[in-house]
């Protein structure tokens, strides 16, 4: 069996009639942690949204294969059920549904199986302790009135509960203090195993410190201009993006 999980081939994507991605190629194998770094506006968030086929982003060319299946034009919910998860930079607030009920509902949809209430509660409790989350938040409406940090932790909680094959974290570390970044990083470490993979989209390297990163890709003006190992992230931290040209 192939260990390849995600393969993006020559992907061109427009957002609001503007060409954002200009021929992306990316391969992610099971068991790997990949990082995409790049300056503002380079197409990082677009890449994440394109994988989940957000209708606001139009694919002009190219294909995305996930787990041996072409998901290029698949509906977002189907892609999610295949095992792709995305942690949002700005998670949406949904009034009137509690975090617990939402997670139960989503887990049922993603797995296609009824959720065993007792096991689910135990699982939730365990993750919340690990992520230093306030259990009172679980009965609050999804993300409504949550602080920036609470929202991001809630995304990581969802990742752990839904247990996808590929987790895409879109700037999950932005706007977080050091403690919260460490918590998120711990969550990723808990999630990670030899059969799944993580794609971290970030500006900064703090979140990477405690993780064993396999590949770092530099995205500039809609193209991956360089790929390297964890050392590349360090180089960017010190020297910025100026050295890279599209």
Partner 1 sequence: MSKTKLEEINRNIYDIRNKDEFDFKIEKGLTKEIIEEISRQKNDPEWMREFRLKALDVYNSLEMPTWGPDLSELDMREIATYVRPKSKLNSSWEDVPEDIKNTFDKLGIPDAEKTSLAGVGAQYDSEVVYHSMKEDLIKQGVIYTDMETAVREYPDLVKAHFMKCVPVNDHKFVALHGAVWSGGSFVYVPRGVKVEVPLQSYFRLNSPESGQFEHTLIIVDEGASLHFIEGCSAPKYNKVNLHAGCVELYVKDNAYLRYSTIENWSKNMLNLNTKKAIVGKNAEVDWVSGSFGSKISMLYPMSILNGEGSKTEFTGISFAGKGQNLDNGFKVVHNAPNTSSVVNAKSISKNGGKCTYRSLVRVNKSATNSKASVSCESLMLDDISVSDTIPTCDIQTDDVEFSHEAKIGKISDKAIFYLMSRGLSEEDARAMIVRGFAYPISKELPVEYAVEMNNLINLELEGAIG
In the complex, the residues that contact partner 1 under the rule CB under 8 A are 52, 54-56, 75-77, 79-81, 85-86, 88, 91-92, 94-97, 102, 105-106, 109-110, 141, 158, 162
CA atoms of 75 and 72, how far apart (whole Å): 9
Residue placing its CB nearer to partner 1 in the complex, 47 or 158: 158
Residue placing its CB nearer to partner 1 in the complex, 42 or 158: 158
Please answer whether residues 206 and 178 qualify as being in contact, where contact means their C-beta atoms are separated by less than 8 angstroms.
yes
In the complex, the smallest distance separating the C-beta of residue 106 from partner 1, rounded to whole angstroms, is 4
Residue placing its CB nearer to partner 1 in the complex, 71 or 233: 71
Please answer whether residues 237 and 35 qualify as being in contact, where contact means their C-beta atoms are separated by less than 8 angstroms.
no
Residues contacting residue 111 through CB under 8 Å, at least 6 positions apart: none
Residue placing its CB nearer to partner 1 in the complex, 27 or 141: 141
In the complex, the smallest distance separating the C-beta of residue 225 from partner 1, rounded to whole angstroms, is 28
Nearest 10 degrees: Cα torsion 79, 80, 86, 92:
120
In the complex, the smallest distance separating the C-beta of residue 27 from partner 1, rounded to whole angstroms, is 22
The β-bridge relationship of strands 215-220 and 94-98 is: unpaired
Strand-pair partners of 15: 18, 57
Residues contacting residue 56 through CB under 8 Å, at least 6 positions apart: 15, 49
Residue placing its CB nearer to partner 1 in the complex, 102 or 215: 102
In the complex, the smallest distance separating the C-beta of residue 88 from partner 1, rounded to whole angstroms, is 6
In the complex, the smallest distance separating the C-beta of residue 97 from partner 1, rounded to whole angstroms, is 5
Q: If we measure between CA atoms, which residue out of 46, 19, 28, 9 comes closest to residue 170?
A: 46
In the complex, the smallest distance separating the C-beta of residue 246 from partner 1, rounded to whole angstroms, is 28
**Tokens coding 165:** 């094959």
DSSP category for residue 43: S
Residue placing its CB nearer to partner 1 in the complex, 86 or 199: 86
Helices 99-111 and 117-130 pack at an angle, to 10 degrees, of: 120
């Amino acid at each position: 069996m192939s260990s390849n999980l995600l393969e993006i081939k020559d992907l061109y994507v427009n957002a609001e009639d503007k060409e954002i991605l200009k021929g992306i190629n990316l391969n992610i194998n099971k068991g790997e942690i990949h990082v995409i770094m790049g300056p503002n506006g380079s197409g990082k968030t677009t890449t994440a949204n394109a994988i989940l086929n957000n209708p606001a982003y139009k694919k002009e060319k190219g294909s995305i294969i996930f787990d041996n299946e072409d998901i290029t034009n698949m509906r977002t919910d189907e892609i999610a059920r295949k095992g792709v998860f995305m942690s949002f930079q700005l998670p949406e607030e949904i009034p009137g549904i509690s975090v617990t009920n939402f997670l139960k509902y989503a887990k049922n949809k993603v797995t296609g199986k009824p959720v065993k209430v007792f096991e689910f509660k135990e699982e939730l409790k365990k993750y919340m302790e690990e992520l230093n989350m306030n259990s009172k938040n679980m009965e609050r409406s999804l993300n409504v009135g949550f602080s920036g940090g609470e929202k991001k932790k809630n995304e990581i909680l969802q990742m752990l509960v839904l247990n996808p094959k590929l987790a895409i974290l879109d700037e999950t570390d932005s706007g977080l203090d050091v403690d919260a970044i460490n918590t998120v990083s711990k969550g990723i470490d808990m999630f990670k195993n030899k059969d799944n993979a993580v794609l971290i989209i970030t500006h900064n390297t703090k979140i990477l410190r405690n993780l064993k990163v396999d590949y770092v890709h530099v995205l500039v003006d809609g193209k991956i201009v360089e790929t390297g190992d964890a050392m590349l992230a360090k180089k960017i931290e010190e020297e910025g993006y100026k050295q890279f040209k599209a």
